[in-house]
Chains A and B, each alone.
Chain A
Amino acid sequence: GPKVLQIPSHQIIDMGQMVTLNCDPVSNHLYFYWYKQILGQQMEFLVNFYNGKVMEKSKLFKDQFSVERPDGSYFTLKIQPTALEDSAVYFCASSQNRGREDYAEQFFGPGTRLTVL
């Protein structure tokens, strides 16, 4: 199926530093998402993004988090500053459409494992 790429696959940083997670979504997709999965726990929605704007964010999307997709390049999640509880795998996803429409299926990247020391 369609491929979503994420860079890097693993990132280790010290608490308080800034980190940027990069996502290369499927080329004709318009909707972009970040999800967070702590080891052994449920996948949880963080934020979605369409037409250059955040549509919705969850309570997990702290003030230290931000997303952007400048000029149609990578869709990024930035955390500044990082905290210990930010250690998790972050998954990027994209979809062409939304809701009951055709092509609303979300395709996920392989995840970036973030370790905050």
Chain B
Amino acid sequence: GQQVQQSPASLVLQEGENAELQCNFSSTATRLQWFYQRPGGSLVSLLSNPSGTKHTGRLTSTTVTKERRGSLHISSSQITDSGTYLCAMEPTGGNNKLTFGQGTVLSVIP
């Protein structure tokens, strides 16, 4: 079945450093969507990106569907960025269902 692999599984940064989160997927995708999952479990949509590069604030998402990969760059990390980042892909021809990765747990320390 479709699989989404995220790396690294966890990451510890000092405040102000940049983070690069990777997402690789096993089948062709229509788009990637990145989420932040709060410690309480709720999901916040960060970026939805069918291809190329998209920016919002300190976040940059790059999706290369032909190579079945994507990434999320977080610049100038802040302590409040700590949490779990989920990559989800919509398979080509799928009915808009999202397949999620296991997540990257980001810890930003002072």
Contacts and interface: CB of A to CB of B under 8 A. Distances in A.
Given A105-B33, A106-B33, A107-B45, A33 B90 contact: no
A48 B97 contact: yes
Interface stretch (A11-19, A38-46, A66-74): A38-46
A36 to B, nearest CB: 11
B80 to A, nearest CB: 17
Nearest to B37: A43
Given A42-B102, A104-B48, A105-B48, A98 B41 contact: no
B106 interface: no
Interface residues of B, number: 25
Interface of A: 1, 31, 33, 35, 37, 42-45, 48, 55-56, 58, 89, 91, 95, 98-100, 104-111, 113
B96 interface: yes
Main secondary structure of the interface of A (DSSP, over half): strand
Interface string B1-43: 0000000000000000000000000000011010100001111
Contacts of B33: 105-106
A89 B41 CA distance: 9
B97 A56 contact: yes
A45 B100 CA distance: 8
A35 B40 CA distance: 16
27 contacts: A33-B96, A35-B98, A42-B102, A42-B103, A43-B88, A43-B100, A45-B99, A48-B95, A48-B96, A48-B97, A55-B95, A56-B94, A56-B97, A58-B97, A95-B96, A98-B96, A99-B30, A99-B90, A99-B96, A100-B31, A100-B50, A104-B96, A105-B45, A106-B48, A108-B42, A108-B43, A109-B42
Contacts of B31: 99-100, 104
Given A48-B96, A99-B96, A110-B41, 15 more contacts: A33-B96, A42-B103, A45-B97, A91-B43, A95-B96, A99-B31, A100-B31, A104-B90, A104-B96, A106-B48, A107-B45, A108-B35, A108-B45, A110-B40, A110-B42
